[in-house]
Amino acid sequence: MYIDLIRSAAEVQKTASSSVNTSSGDGFVGLYYLTVTDLTARFFQEITPPEEYEKLHSAFIEFLLSCQTAFVDELAGNSQTESESKKQFIRASKYFVTEMELLNLSENSAAG
């Protein structure tokens, strides 16, 4: 059940991210993306995963938080923090994908 929850949340994240990329700067789409990302991160921070999924759980939360930071920095247009937050986002994405692959769960992961 926990894996289904992660997969569903990752798919929602992937869909919201795709919407932002194709929205041509629509502020409501960006706001939706931030809201979904924030609420998903908060939800996963409040639950305790089964022991065998603790690393995946941490990787997913790190991925979500880095998504938020990178997006906000991009909107603010601060090139130095944007660059650093993008690097962190890339690292967190790779970490999440790696954890999914280690558990043989990667089916075109949302972070990919």
Q: Has this prediction a pTM greater than 0.75?
A: yes
The number of helices, as runs of H, and strands, as runs of E, in the chain is 4, 0
| pLDDT for residue 112 | 45
| pLDDT for residue 42 | 97
Report residues of the chain scoring pLDDT below 70.
25, 79-82, 106-112
Phi, psi of 77 (to 5 degrees): 75, 20
| pLDDT for residue 7 | 92
| pLDDT for residue 82 | 65
Q: What angle do CA 33, 4, 46 make, to 5 degrees?
A: 65
| pLDDT for residue 23 | 81
| pLDDT for residue 111 | 52
